[in-house]
Amino acid sequence: MTERAAVRLVVYGHVQGVFFRAFTLERARELGVTGYVRNLPDEGAVEIWAEGERDRLETLIGHLRVGPPGARVDRVVTGWSKETGGYPGFTIRY
């Protein structure tokens, strides 16, 4: 059985206005990960909360370290925790 977990990520760089949230949504849904992505207006960063199998979360993080064309990812801050089970799917929050 694969370990399940949750991770909060904050992605810094040129990540707003370059379809980063849509890119994250697509990758998360492909991987069967639940949670959300949203812009952080005060920081010019993007926050992601993701839950699921740890290996799939690691794969998602790998995608987010690169981002979509037009994005420039300077750093990704991660914080792991226990899965809450509180997300039926993956969404973009506004």
CATH classification at residue 29 = 3.30.70.100
- In the chain, the number of structural domains is 1
pLDDT averaged over the chain?
Answer: 96
Amino acid found at 4:
R
Average pLDDT over residues 28-46: 95
Which pLDDT score, from 0 to 100, does residue 1 have?
A: 66
Residue 3 reports pLDDT greater than 80:
yes
Nearest of 4, 74, 29, 39 to residue 48 by alpha carbon: 39
Q: Considering the domain boundaries, does residue 94 fall inside one?
A: no
Residue 4: active-site member: no
Catalytic residue among 8, 21, 54, 65: 21
DSSP tag of 67: -
| Residues sharing a CB contact under 8 Å with residue 20, sequence separation 6 or more, in sequence order | 11, 37, 46, 67, 68, 71
Strands 34-40 and 90-92: parallel
Between CA 34 and CA 18 the distance in angstroms is: 22
Considering the domain boundaries, does residue 90 fall inside one?
A: no
Domain that holds residue 10: 4-85
With respect to residue 72, please indicate whether it lies within any of the assigned structural domains. Answer: yes
Query: What's the rounded mean pLDDT across residues 59-63?
Result: 98
User: pTM to 2 decimals?
Assistant: 0.95
* Residue 91 lies inside a defined structural domain of this protein: no
Catalytic residue among 8, 27, 39, 93: 39
Residue 54 annotated as catalytic: no
